[in-house]
Structure 1
Amino acid sequence: MAANHSTPFPRCRTFPVARGFAGFASLWLALLALVLPARGALQFDAFLGYDGFVPEASWFPIVCEVYNDGPAFEGVIEVSSGGLGPGGMVREVRVELPTGTRKLITVPAFNGATYVTDWHVRLRDASGRLREDRSGQRPRGVVRRHSVILGAISRVAAWAPPLRPPLNKQADLQPGVARFQPAVFPDNALVLEGLSALYLNSERAADLRAGQAAAVRTWVAAGGHLILGVEQVGDVNSLRWLRDWLGVELTGMATVDPGSALEDWLRSPVKAAPGSGALPKTPTAADKKLLSEKVTVETPFADVDDNASLRGNLLNVAVGRWGDGVPVVRGGGQPLLVEFARGLGRVTVVTFSPEREPARSWKHLPTFWARLAGVPPSLYVSSQNYYPGGWGMDGIFGAMIDSRQVRKLPVFWLLLMLVGYLAIIGPLDQYWLRKLNRPMLTWITFPCYVALFSGLIYLVGYKLRAGETEWNELHVVDVIGPEEGGTLRGRTFGSIYSPVNARYAFAAEQPDSVKTFRSEFAGSWAADAGGLDRGRIAQTEGAFRAEVFVPVWTSQLFVSDWLTTGAVPLSASIQRRGGAWAVTLENRLSQPLGPVCLVAQGRYFELGEVPAGAVREFTASAATNSLPLGEFVARQADRFQTAVQQRRQAFGAMEGGRLHDLPKASMAASFLGLYEGQQSHLSFVQPPTFDLSAHSEGRQAILLAWAPGQAARPPLNRFEPRRGAVHTLWRLPLPLPVP
């Protein structure tokens, strides 16, 4: 047999070069793994406010960008404020995240804090597992109501309108400029209300989607200010929504020498918005060294000189027919600024491009933008102005609709009970135990006294505060569109009284509107009421569902801001007849309206009532049923401060914290800016666009119609209250006829 020989394989030798190459390849693979995104990665970012700026007491957007490169799942974005604390109000938005998709989600948020606070944005899956956490984000700054935020959609993304720095260097009074890209610009008009003005370059207007353009129009009609800079006439003529909305027909561009027209306009008097001023307005000694003697609150830019004038420089300006626009500045025979009134807001058309030369290098361009954006003049007059805080305006409506079942224990009786308690546990107890010669019985009598008085206090509280579940609503609605297919901008104030510790459900799910929900804004001097409302709000596109906790024997106020389109339930017109106004009002509702009042040219007129389905004509004359608007507001507002303060107190006068004349109180609350002008130390913080003081004079009138027992929208409550009431205040802006 032949032997079977096996030859072993020779061992492979490892050369130093091969070992070096393997190590080099491993290093590169590790670096690539760090640089390149791995399959299944999830990216989540949140951007606060308007380019980082957050307005005081206003809605603003939180834009969340999500990129899912892993398995598909249903996500839930949670937003809460650091000011709410544990168990505070949490806003939720559900979003479908298929594999390989990138989405931008705008979450409406309300800033209930006066100063910078943390915001927490988290992404969870449907099972509640935390996927991404962006907690502790802080905005660049909170801009107070005494300053402005100017948004900008510029031709060049890196350019933003420059604003003249104010003398007052307080951080929260510095005007903010927020740059937007059309791709991430919100399409929800409610979250735009924190902007004081928006600059839109006509070249970028074509980049706005239909929903974004509609949001801009609605925001302007509700009180916003759009500044349109014209690059080329074709930009405007090619956009039907913009051309038809303004009602203009531009025919071409012309080259003109503006002369000193723009400088003259800057030096002209400025009319400050009511309630936007400061105390005191007198310049300090240091300020006077920096300012010209001509500079006052009325003429804050009187120091603009002609040395850096645009005279001799040629501007390319748009020319054509401007419809109902009013030229504000003319230069070289052509309009340079044209203003259009649209609803409660306005559009200012800059007929030249402020982003191109020679305007871009103009020395006074920051001053030009400061006046155009509406920066309060007092910021440029003194560096030591006092800008007071204020109570939240929500408290005024809470004092109107809070349950009357809750009564207060007068302080006298509280002190009497306290004195009686101290007398019994002290000298009386000692006296009768000595009589009995049983001083050791105090170990028994004292707990009995505590139990007795505890029961007495509970009984008193039960008699004063116990009642039935109650839900009251008051709607304040601005009619800001045409009669057919018009727009209604509403605010629903709702107050709930709970006889037990319980959770209550609220919802608004009508498909034809945009709605939000929030707790009461307490103001600058009080903690945000949202910290007491342990609940969650599920926000969807145009709807919400909420569940909130209400403690026993308390009333809490909630507010829903909404926008809807459709037929307007009432219409009005106004004409001038001699020295009076002739007002015609058509009531299309099934119930009467009344009282009906008119505000025009600084006066308040009481008109009367209008039966259901009827048309009535009123004559508003200064000689009958009329008084200055400021006087009417002061008469009502003098009670507001006391009512708002006493409303939060558990003890006091039985009627403390209540306003009984709902129609007049609601109407006066619509013009609180006039009251601040008289009593600046007694101020209220109002959400933007609510105050109508700026429309009390000039080319507009405001018709106010009270609808008792009527609701402008379906009720918010999803529970059955034992008691309830509902009322609506309609506010119609009317253009005054041109004399």
Structure 2
Amino acid sequence: MVKANASKIRFLLLFSLFFAIFGTLIAPATAQDEENGITLDITVGFDSHYKSEYWTPVQVTAANNGPAVEGYVQIRVPQGGGLEPSVYRTPLSLPTQSNKRVTLYIKLETGAGNVNLTLHQADGTLVAEASSGSLSRLGASSDLLYGVVSPDAAEFAFLERIPGSRSDAAVALLTLDDLPETAVAWSALDVLIFNDTDSSQLTTLQRTALEVWLKNGGQLIVTGGANWQKTAVSLTDLLPVTVDGSQSVDDLPGLRERIGIAFRDPGPYVVATSSLRSGELIFHQDELPLLARQSFGRGSIYFLALDPRLAPLLDWDGSDAIWAAIASRVPTVSNWGLGPQNSYAATEAISSLPTLALPSILQLVGFLLVYTVVAGPLNYWILKRRNQLEKAWLTIPVLVIIFSAITYFTGFQLRGNDTIINQISVAYSQTGAGQANVYSLLGLYSPQRKTYDLVLPQNSLARPYSQDFGAPFSTDEANLGAITYGNETTISDVRVDIGDISVFLAESAAPAVDVTGSATLTVEDNNLILALDVLNNSDLTLETASILVGNRALSVGDIAPSERTTVSLPMGTTASAGSSSATFFSSGYGPNAPLSANAETILGSFDYYNDRVLYPRWQLLQALESNNFGGTTTFAVPQETAVLIAWSNESQINATLGDDSFNSESTTLYLIEIPLTQSLVSGRNITIPISLLNWEPIGNNNVYNPTIQDLYLNGGWVEFSYTPWPELQGMDVTRLGFSLTQQYEDPSQLTPDVSIWDFEESTWQTIENTSWGRNNIQEFAPYIGPNNEVRLRLQDNSSQFGLGIGEIYPILTGNLDE
């Protein structure tokens, strides 16, 4: 009996211990200090979901039942590479018997486990602390994040199985208070659902942030049903429909038959009644919109007339098809929406100050020549002429001192006497958009060792920016104090050494340059032509403008204020035998680098490497593109848009140093998406240019950078797939060939072995007698796949020192019928 009781006691103790431990794991991120009466609650990201590529909002709720607190809340975020943690703060005034909510914005690393928050008095005394629960990291391009604002948000958990074109999906259960007032902090959200929620409770700043998020690619779904009014009324100016009421219907055959699955629950069903105002109907019952959509910048706004929590959508097997239709239209992460990707090039760009350029080699040689002549022959000649050669022991040291002083003074002047904030920005927007997504590299240069406070506007988020290797900040001690949010964003106590540059990356939403226009791809005389019509409504000159279509940039020239530019630009034909790959691209870049590949056109000069103004711009182009070689991901402009690229010396963010004086230097790169209409109605003997071919490597062995331009083979092989743009996928192909050019002209260089994929036999067929230049294929029918896809394979089996391939791509010629 005693043994039995002892066993029960041990069991109860173990169970109690397990329950205590488990309870701490599932407890909410709330901490209460009984001594001072402070309660802190912390919510990180969107329902603990975050994407490390974007800023993460942290909502802090503080309650005080004890003595008043005048201080700040603080988060320290560990950094990799041995760097000091980043410190983020925001002021907090917490009187007795008060409850307040503040928001911080932090940049989390990939492996962030949780976030620790502390509350301090103004003198730094620790008052209370709290820790978040475990966090869930999502990938910007691989994971789809739904945000659901609903009194029954858990009913939308099924969306986790509908990732659209992404590999996975997650659902964040939110309230309106969880939506940040800073537009930049919305970036991690892909889809936002308002269901049975009073959207009029959105603050003015939240509403502005919502619209900016939409224009940058966000997807908003507003639901109807019986409670449509409180959800939709305050958003009527955004909706694609005009909602006028609700009604009960016995059946919705238009939806049921379209999906092809019978409803689980019988009617009646409550439907919000409306009429289409603009956009498109995806699902409808006769003239009654059930799911309508309209574009808003890169994003979309949907109105779903039914309440997903009720029949017929609740637990209906066909509901997934409705949400899949929405998820499939979520745009991919914009090519430049993540800001600088190559941190080495970005740091090089911001550190290249034209006003602090080093003297040229000719200047240095001239100075040394003058010094040598003066201290040597000229000094000797003068002393000999005066018969005072014995004074050389005096004149030579004096000359050395004089020239040393000149050298020191010149170097001091070249280093400059002024503090400089160098700003290089990228403003990414669409025509007609009021706001642009702006990334600004800020370089703080100091001619002396000094500490500064860098002050930015309230809606700007900024952080120290480091290279992938060799961080620009010393790891021995912190080079800055904290990033503080308030009426302004302040990076305090930035310590800069003599002649050094501290680099920061700021993200903000700024007024977009006012540009309207259109781009149309047409067929004229059997040639592909890009017709561009652009009106610059702004008061600044768009310098060195060009238009990027596919992976090819075409020069437009300067566009003055209020100027309308109308041009027709040939898209080009395939290269002839012996042509250089420079016909379409600057050499050395593949599909991940359309900006760098077209640097000569975008910068307006081929000598950008030696130009003090163009060199940092060239580095910026490289910084915006991935430095990941050997991967299979492509980097192409969306086929429904062309991108207007231009430059100016306007600043995008008002950066100051408090009471310290400074000079400013600014450069802005504008990337403005213009709708591209493809009116490829008909034409005969049309040859598809390389810029309208989507390609990707589908396999390789022993190839460092598998790209169709400037490819190097040394005993390895690589396979590529090429597919024309959609409007050309139905072309009747009448001739097929391929272009194979050398990287550097060498008559003795052997050709690689070239094979083409036989879609009928599902095997590679070797092409005999391949030569450099254009090669024609006679019996080509088996080699044309679905959507006019062509696959080519190159292999080096015979060279001793490797093969340099200038370019390799198929040449498809055919007819387009109406």
Task: Report the TM-score, using the length of structure 2 for normalisation.
Answer: 0.58
- After superposition, the C-alpha distances for 1:652-671 in whole angstroms (9 at most, x for unaligned) are xxx89x9955557656876x
Greater relative CO (CA pairs within 8 A, separation 6+): 1
**Offset at 1:472?**
2.2
For residues 629 and 539 of structure 1, the distance between their equivalents in structure 2, rounded to whole angstroms, comes to 48
Match of 1:104 among 98, 101, 104: 101
**Offset at 1:538?**
1.6
State the partner residue of 1:356: 310
Contact kept, 8 Å, 1:538 with 1:544, in 2: the verdict is yes
For residues 519 and 262 of structure 1, the distance between their equivalents in structure 2, rounded to whole angstroms, comes to 53
State the partner residue of 1:397: 346
State the partner residue of 1:493: 441
Aligned AA for 1:507? V
For residues 121 and 733 of structure 1, the distance between their equivalents in structure 2, rounded to whole angstroms, comes to 41
1:62-77 superposed matches below 5 A: 62-77=58-73
State the partner residue of 2:506: 560
Contact kept, 8 Å, 2:219 with 2:330, in 1: the verdict is no
Tell me: CA distance 1:623–1:147, structure 2 relative to 1, closer, same or farther (3 Å). Answer: closer
Match of 1:245 among 238, 251, 255: 238
State the partner residue of 1:235: 229
State the partner residue of 1:341: 295
1:137-156 superposed matches below 5 A: 138-143=134-139, 145-156=141-152
For residues 574 and 432 of structure 2, the distance between their equivalents in structure 1, rounded to whole angstroms, comes to 29
- After superposition, the C-alpha distances for 1:230-263 in whole angstroms (9 at most, x for unaligned) are 23485279624x1112353123446422455664
Aligned AA for 2:217? G
For residues 220 and 307 of structure 1, the distance between their equivalents in structure 2, rounded to whole angstroms, comes to 32
- After superposition, the C-alpha distances for 1:492-533 in whole angstroms (9 at most, x for unaligned) are 112345676653331124xxx61111122657x998989775
Contact kept, 8 Å, 1:151 with 1:177, in 2: the verdict is yes
State the partner residue of 1:296: none
Aligned AA for 1:618? T
**Offset at 1:187?**
2.4
For residues 583 and 225 of structure 2, the distance between their equivalents in structure 1, rounded to whole angstroms, comes to 43
State the partner residue of 1:182: 176
State the partner residue of 1:43: 39
For residues 336 and 66 of structure 1, the distance between their equivalents in structure 2, rounded to whole angstroms, comes to 43
What are the ranges of 5 or more consecutive residues in structure 2 without an aligned counterpart?
Answer: 1-31, 333-337, 359-410, 524-529, 576-580, 597-608, 680-818
For residues 326 and 232 of structure 1, the distance between their equivalents in structure 2, rounded to whole angstroms, comes to 23
Sequence identity (%): 18
Tell me: CA distance 1:738–1:632, structure 2 relative to 1, closer, same or farther (3 Å). Answer: closer
RMSD: 5.0
**Offset at 1:66?**
0.5
Aligned AA for 1:43? T
State the partner residue of 2:645: 704
State the partner residue of 2:424: 474
Tell me: CA distance 1:230–1:406, structure 2 relative to 1, closer, same or farther (3 Å). Answer: farther
Contact kept, 8 Å, 2:39 with 2:62, in 1: the verdict is yes
Name the SS for the 2:237 alignment partner.
helix
For residues 155 and 470 of structure 2, the distance between their equivalents in structure 1, rounded to whole angstroms, comes to 39
State the partner residue of 1:444: none
1:141-220 superposed matches below 5 A: 141-143=137-139, 145-165=141-161, 174-201=168-195, 203-220=197-214
Match of 2:516 among 572, 584, 600: 572
**Corresponding residue pairs, total:** 560
Match of 1:514 among 446, 459, 463: 459
Does 2:192 match 1:225? Answer: no
Contact kept, 8 Å, 1:258 with 1:313, in 2: the verdict is no
- After superposition, the C-alpha distances for 1:526-567 in whole angstroms (9 at most, x for unaligned) are 9898977543112114543433234667544311112245xx
Instruction: Identify the range of structure 1 (65-74 vs 254-263) with the bigger mean alpha-carbon deviation.
Output: 254-263
Contact kept, 8 Å, 1:403 with 1:497, in 2: the verdict is no
Aligned AA for 2:155? W
Tell me: CA distance 1:202–1:609, structure 2 relative to 1, closer, same or farther (3 Å). Answer: farther
State the partner residue of 1:595: 544
**Offset at 1:193?**
1.1
For residues 610 and 194 of structure 1, the distance between their equivalents in structure 2, rounded to whole angstroms, comes to 35
**Offset at 1:361?**
0.5
**Offset at 1:130?**
0.4
Contact kept, 8 Å, 1:87 with 1:534, in 2: the verdict is no
- After superposition, the C-alpha distances for 1:702-724 in whole angstroms (9 at most, x for unaligned) are 333211x3223334455879986
Tell me: CA distance 1:311–1:186, structure 2 relative to 1, closer, same or farther (3 Å). Answer: same
**Offset at 1:65?**
0.6
For residues 435 and 211 of structure 2, the distance between their equivalents in structure 1, rounded to whole angstroms, comes to 10
State the partner residue of 1:433: none
Contact kept, 8 Å, 2:191 with 2:218, in 1: the verdict is yes
Task: Report the TM-score, using the length of structure 1 for normalisation.
Answer: 0.63
1:200-349 superposed matches below 5 A: 200-201=194-195, 203-232=197-226, 234-235=228-229, 239-240=233-234, 242-246=235-239, 248-253=241-246, 255=249, 256-259=252-255, 263=259, 316-330=270-284, 334-349=288-303
Contact kept, 8 Å, 1:599 with 1:605, in 2: the verdict is yes
Tell me: CA distance 1:184–1:588, structure 2 relative to 1, closer, same or farther (3 Å). Answer: closer
Aligned AA for 2:441? F
Contact kept, 8 Å, 1:706 with 1:730, in 2: the verdict is yes
1:371-386 superposed matches below 5 A: 372-373=326-327
For residues 558 and 46 of structure 1, the distance between their equivalents in structure 2, rounded to whole angstroms, comes to 27
Tell me: CA distance 1:542–1:331, structure 2 relative to 1, closer, same or farther (3 Å). Answer: farther
Name the SS for the 1:163 alignment partner.
helix
**Offset at 1:132?**
0.8
For residues 450 and 589 of structure 2, the distance between their equivalents in structure 1, rounded to whole angstroms, comes to 35
**Offset at 1:471?**
3.9
For residues 340 and 562 of structure 2, the distance between their equivalents in structure 1, rounded to whole angstroms, comes to 40
Contact kept, 8 Å, 1:203 with 1:231, in 2: the verdict is no
Aligned AA for 1:585? L
Name the SS for the 1:544 alignment partner.
strand
Match of 1:730 among 659, 666, 670: 670
For residues 569 and 376 of structure 1, the distance between their equivalents in structure 2, rounded to whole angstroms, comes to 25
What are the ranges of 5 or more consecutive residues in structure 1 without an aligned counterpart?
Answer: 1-35, 264-305, 379-388, 408-462, 644-654, 685-690
Contact kept, 8 Å, 1:403 with 1:555, in 2: the verdict is no
- After superposition, the C-alpha distances for 1:82-116 in whole angstroms (9 at most, x for unaligned) are 336784321110022122111111111122x1223
- After superposition, the C-alpha distances for 1:267-318 in whole angstroms (9 at most, x for unaligned) are xxxxxxxxxxxxxxxxxxxxxxxxxxxxxxxxxxxxxxx5677798776444
**Offset at 1:481?**
8.6
- After superposition, the C-alpha distances for 1:377-420 in whole angstroms (9 at most, x for unaligned) are 99xxxxxxxxxx9994454433323236799xxxxxxxxxxxxx
For residues 284 and 146 of structure 2, the distance between their equivalents in structure 1, rounded to whole angstroms, comes to 24
State the partner residue of 1:288: none
For residues 630 and 207 of structure 1, the distance between their equivalents in structure 2, rounded to whole angstroms, comes to 56
Tell me: CA distance 1:625–1:544, structure 2 relative to 1, closer, same or farther (3 Å). Answer: farther
State the partner residue of 2:110: 114
**Offset at 1:77?**
0.9
For residues 395 and 44 of structure 1, the distance between their equivalents in structure 2, rounded to whole angstroms, comes to 40
Match of 2:557 among 602, 608, 624: 608
For residues 261 and 622 of structure 1, the distance between their equivalents in structure 2, rounded to whole angstroms, comes to 47
Name the SS for the 1:547 alignment partner.
strand
The structure with the largest strand share of the pair is: 2
- After superposition, the C-alpha distances for 1:188-234 in whole angstroms (9 at most, x for unaligned) are 22211111221121544244344333321221123222122223485
